[in-house]
Structure 1
Amino acid sequence: MLKKISMVFIVLLLIVLSIPFTGFSAANVYLPDSSGTALNWDFDETPPKRPNLKLLNSANYEYKWKRDNSLLFNLVQDKNGVLYMSDADNKVHAVYPNGKEKWSVQLDMGFELSVIYLILGQDGTIYAYSSDFLTQPGMTSIYALSPEGKVKWYLPPDTMVYSRFDSHFAGDSHGNFVYFSADGLISRNAKGEVNWTNKEIRTSDPNKPSPSTRSSYLFIDPKGNIYVDSESKEIISINPDGTERWRSTPQSYLNQFDVFYPYFSDAGILYMLTSSGLHALTGTDGSQVKLSGQSDLSDIRSSGIPTDGNGGYYFENRGDIQKLDYKGAIKWSYIPRPSEKYGPGSTKPLVTDDKGNLYFGTGVGNIIGLNSDGQEIFAFLRNAYWYKHTEVVIGNSGNLYSINDDIGLVAFGKKQIQVYQDNRYLPMSVAPIMDNGSVLVPFRSLFESMGLKVGWNSSSQTITGTKEGLTIQMKMGSRTAYVNGQAKSLSIAPKMFKNSTFVPLRFVAEALGKNVSWDSKSSSVNINSKV
């Protein structure tokens, strides 16, 4: 219990609590409580405990699954949708997007009061780091873990490591890991060996804090180029070999609140969002990009910046959740519910889905979803009495994954059937349907994901899927199918629904030699390749 209290104390020290929200919002912005259902979850909480957790807009959203863990510190997601988090017992967990555990590993960070935070490298390496900032001098230790949970290398507690938080470390697509040290900027390779040290690029000593000094921020683009900011607000780009590429002019929009945090687009632009609006530099030479209302919105969106996709940008400004245009003009501010008293529940960036909806956690453990007009479309209400650390990510399934103190890892999603293959989300062109106890899916999405070449005969209304050694044929409206010419009975015939052709998922998967399992709690199907 003492360790848990110490961990909570450390987390609260690390998190900057924002001032209360202010601003304006549209009328009728909140979802009515009558639109929700109670979640009767059993969990421990420091009194006073708030009763009656509630999910609003439950006609369209549902709780998919939950993994209990009383104190989770960090949540990151890889390109396959696998979720990684750390807990108060110094364990790092990997969980598939359907809630099944992939692995769990215990780490010894080398000192007693360690809080593990995670950085995801572009190659899938998970970097677990912890800083013992309560000792003098403070120490930082780092583990590099493979996507399968194996230790690639370990840096024991070291007072020379100056990087302390997420934006002070970065990992590239080749397994190189870059951070600040007393000697300058350091790069280590996939074996943990030092590639190079750039003694000209430095940051302040975290063991000797001063109001007049500040830490530089560190990022890597998809090509392995490194970017840091300087004391004079310059952006400095470093080549993958550690040599300087370019140095921008001072960026006047950066300050103690609007810090350097770039988003890298497909066209190689560095986009930065601050309270003064959207800013951009070219990745090749650091020159300023002139933005306008006619700027390439698709390229801006490719960077992952929080946007509605139509020229609006979501921004957390000292506790306010706002939508800005590229000039920084406020389109709306979301005024929180009366139960909110701590502002945001995380210092991480806001997240948006592919439809331009915004999601964020709050300091009382609530999770809010807003549409592009600033109106609630989703709300999980906890309304905790004490501050709760809450982090949110969005999966490629559209599911919302969140860690929430005392509760654990929770998945919310649209009320629809979801399909997974080997526990990873399998996208469908349209949502699957349930018909007489059978799950039907759009045939082209399923066939192509299973490696089948798709054939369609419009005159005979026949669907064909072929691959080496296998031919599957099904006819619209017929409960007889053929596998390599042999007749097989179907539980339900292929059918047309909303202009899409649907086929029974289980039959196709089993014809391919795979197992199929149905999870009624999460309304999901998993196709397992391991027989």
Structure 2
Amino acid sequence: MGKTGKSAKVLFCVLIILNLLVLNYAGIYAQQSYPYHGKRLNYNKTTPIDFITYDVYGQEANKLPKFVNPGQFDIKWRYDIDLPSNAIKGPNGTIYLISLDGVLYAIDPNGERLWGRKIKSYSNLTLCPDGTIYAVSQDSIIDTDAQSKAEVYAFNQKGNEVCSYTIKNPISYYGGYCLAGDEKGNLIIPTEDGIFSYDKKGNLNWKNTDILKMEDTFSIKYSNVQSIRAMSSENIIIVTNDKVYSLNSSGKVNWSINNSYFGLEIYSNELGYIYNRDGKYNIADTKNGHVLTDAEIKKLNIKDFPSKTSWAGGYYYNNFLTDRKDKNYNKGIVSYDNNNKVKWVYTVPSGFNGYACDIAADMDGNVYFSDYGGNLYSLDKDGNERYMFLRHKSMMSSSQIIVANNGDVVWITDEIGAICIGTKSIRVLIDDEEVNFSNKPFIDSGTTLVPFRPVFEKLGITINWDAKTKTISASNDELTMTMQAGSKSCNVNGSKKELSVAPKIINGSTYIPLRFISETTKKEVSWDQKTKIIYIGSAEQQIKHIVDQFFSYLNKKDYKGINSLFNIDELTDVDDSYRVIDKALNGVLMCNDIKVQININSDIKATAQTSYNLTTAKGFNLYNTENITTTFNFVKTQGRGWKISSVSK
């Protein structure tokens, strides 16, 4: 037999062996009862995101993030903050977080900065039910020889400082303070001398010196306190390595139970239950410390315990099912139903970096998590991949995930700051007030269609609907109009008009072209491609909105957003010019106290005179430059509304 024949025979044998190995490998998986997740996305079809990102040394990164499957999802906003951390969400959706240089930010659900306050050093945050925000800043590393202190800052939700004071020898649990705030605005914090409670003026309420024990790990002091939760001022839950305690408003023990699981994860709700996971659920009543029996647990439903990782159909957890021989198997998450049974298992794609962390779920069962490589994942309730935001960092990366009140996801991560990702949707504002729709507007072949009734009624127009003929009648003091679903012809004030798209009935709502509203009501209509917002109002309102957006984008260092406000026919290189401005104004916190005076010069020309104050920071000092003036020149473009043509000082 020649070399070719021998090679073919060897190849044939190798293929048989490989086939047997594959079958055997598949057999190993087939023996398990845990199903795999649903469909994966095509990772080759990605959209680069033009974010300016920086590495830990402050150097501009040359590797752009990528968005997998952005078709039905969108990055709604980004707030550029250097290495943000310790983010928390308030009940109204406001997000509070701290930057590397020690600025506490408050950001509203639309990504707008409400306020920023300079504090000292790296800090931890907690939010009290009464709205008090505590930031506890650590000045020095806690070790066996050095004494440490921490600055405590208390703010209300408007950013006004309530008080500030210093505490000695605060202690952490593996890198972070254990903080809690009760409904009276009291701060509960552990120190080397015990667990302390302070009121909003910095006065000591009580201290407990019996529970906290100090431990040395690699010459660094830690306490046995893992977490603190304030169910109320009369029921402060303290979780340690070996016990769970409840303290009253005097710092005395209400009850205690044994805790044999190191690293207890505690979840609590208004029902007064907590539970941890150490192979099974251990559930106790926080009112009295009674540990529920198996029979009592069976009467409960997991959905009674709302937490960051649960929803009505079950909950999600890190994948620690290591009984398979797949090295990548435990890099992912597990979906459990309400009876603690595995529904499906998700493993990160081959070659992706690290294990699932910071898992969060929304009310529909969609789950979000990140990995050590800084990648963000979103799956639906059946384990199908919805989208991914990929960075593939070689260095370990940390992130936080917050599910916003409207269902969007805010992802806080180093280098990028805070970004909001959600399904693409169109909003409509009339005279600066948002229109509420049961059925959302959408774009069809380049034409924006909106439900006519909510828009016309918001404009003060009376609507009548003839279901038999599918005819719409609309009228007010200045308008009389009729149109019919399926027909492009309509009658406006006795004159025949043609619509670009015939009215459509979808899910019980009749949709009409947005541009027709402008033509019939004489209102200005503009479309913000960046934010997906339709603005209907006067020319002055349109221009005021653009100026507000300009400063909002500038404060967030959103250069693409700035570009979207300019007339592209006159645009030179605004993107690069504003990057230069941003670098020149190193340390800028924000432009504030903005005043605008608008002059409409003609049907297509306008100017806006603005004055504002500029706040910068150097070290721990803030500097204000007042009454900076800027002139914006505007031009009304065909089909795109008012746009900035130039800016001058």
Count of aligned pairs between the two proteins: 477
1:410 is the counterpart of 2:419: yes
Deviation at 1:203, TM superposition (A): 1.8
Give the C-alpha shift of residue 352 in structure 1. Answer: 0.5
Q: Is residue 78 of structure 2 the alignment partner of residue 76 of structure 1?
A: no
The equivalent residue for 2:242 is 232
Alpha-carbon offset, residue 525 of structure 1? 5.3
- The answer to whether residue 298 in structure 2 is matched with residue 288 in structure 1 is no
> TM-score, normalised to structure 1's length?
0.72
Residue aligning to 2:20: none
* CA positional deviation for 1:369: 0.9
Write the distance in 2 (CA, Å) between the matches of 1:281 and 1:424.
Answer: 47
1:129 Cα deviation after fit: 1.8
Work out whether residues 267 and 274 of structure 2, in 8 Å CA contact, stay in contact via their aligned partners in 1: yes
CA deviation profile, 1:213-272 (whole Å, cap 9, x unmatched): 622420012686311124532x22233x235473243244xx224x1422314xx14242
Aligned pair partner of 1:398 in 399, 407, 412: 407
The residue aligned with 2:266 is: 261
| C-alpha distance in structure 1 between counterparts of 2:337 and 2:266, whole Å | 18
Query: Mapping of 1:401-480 within 5 angstroms?
Result: 401-418=410-427, 429-434=438-443, 440=450
Distance 1:249 1:406, change over 3 A: closer
Matches within 5 A, 1:132-531: 132-134=139-141, 136-156=146-166, 158-163=167-172, 168-194=178-204, 196-200=205-209, 202-205=211-214, 214-221=224-231, 225-233=235-243, 235-239=244-248, 241-242=249-250, 244=252, 246-252=254-260, 255-257=261-263, 259-265=264-270, 268-289=271-292, 290=294, 295-300=300-305, 303-315=306-318, 317=320, 320-325=332-337, 330-344=342-356, 349-418=358-427, 429-434=438-443, 440=450, 496-500=505-509, 518-524=527-533
User: SS of 1:33's equivalent?
Assistant: coil
Deviations 1:394-437 (A, max 9, x none): 11222221122222221211122246899999975443335786
Do the aligned partners of 1:25 and 1:332 also contact (CA within 8 Å) in 2?
yes
| SS in structure 1 at match of 2:406 | coil
Q: Based on CA coordinates, which of the two structures has the bigger radius of gyration? A: 2
Structure 1 residue 505: deviation in Å? Answer: 9.8
**Structure-2 change in CA distance of 1:388 and 1:428 (3 Å):** farther
Give me the CA root mean square deviation.
4.9
Q: Distance in 2 between matches of 1:433 and 1:326?
A: 37
Higher normalized contact order (CA 8 Å, seq sep 6+, divided by chain length): 1
Q: Is 1:58 the equivalent of 2:70?
A: yes
Change (3 A) 1:476 1:84: farther
Distance 1:417 1:459, change over 3 A: closer
Give the number of the structure whose residues are more often helix, by fraction: 2
Residue 287 of structure 2 aligns to a residue whose secondary structure is coil
1:255-297 alpha-carbon deviations (Å, 9 max, x no partner): 224x1422314xx142424242444322332223446666345
Q: Distance in 2 between matches of 1:37 and 1:222?
A: 47
Amino acid paired to 2:310? T
Shift in Å, 1:355: 0.5
Cα 1:32/1:236, change in 2 over 3 Å: same
Deviation of 1:210 after TM superposition, in Å, equals 7.8
Give deviations 1:280-334, integer Å, cap 9, x for gaps.
322332223446666345433xx23412422344346596522235675544433
Rounded to whole Å, the distance in 1 between the matches of 2:431 and 2:237 is: 37
Give the match's secondary structure for 2:88. strand
SS in 1 for 2:66: strand
- For 1:70-124, what per-residue CA distance to the aligned partner results, in whole angstroms no more than 9, with x for missing partners? 42223222122222221122111222222222112211x2xxxx31232222233
Please report how far the alpha carbon of residue 351 of structure 1 lies from its aligned counterpart in structure 2 after TM superposition: 0.9
The DSSP-based 3-state class of the residue aligned with 2:304 is helix
1:231–1:148 distance in 2 versus 1, CA, 3 Å: same
Please show how residues 14-53 of structure 1 align to structure 2 within 5 Å.
26=36, 29-45=39-55, 51-53=63-65
Query: Does 1:127 find its partner at 2:130?
Result: no
**Aligned-pair distance for 1:150?**
1.7
Q: Which runs of 5+ in 1 are unaligned?
A: 1-21, 465-471, 482-489, 509-513
What secondary structure does 2:314 align onto? coil
Of the three residues 92, 100, 103, the one matched with 2:115 is 103
Identity percentage over the alignment? 23
Rounded to whole Å, the distance in 1 between the matches of 2:61 and 2:392 is 10
Aligned to 1:221, the other structure's residue is in SS state strand
- Answer yes or no: is the 8 Å Cα contact 1:270–1:280 preserved in 2: yes
Structure 2 contact 147–169 (Cα < 8 Å) conserved? no
Q: Is the 8 A contact 1:494 1:501 kept in 2?
A: yes
Distance 1:305 1:360 in 2: 11
Name the structure 2 match of 1:11. Answer: none
CA change 1:407–1:211 in 2 (3 A) is closer
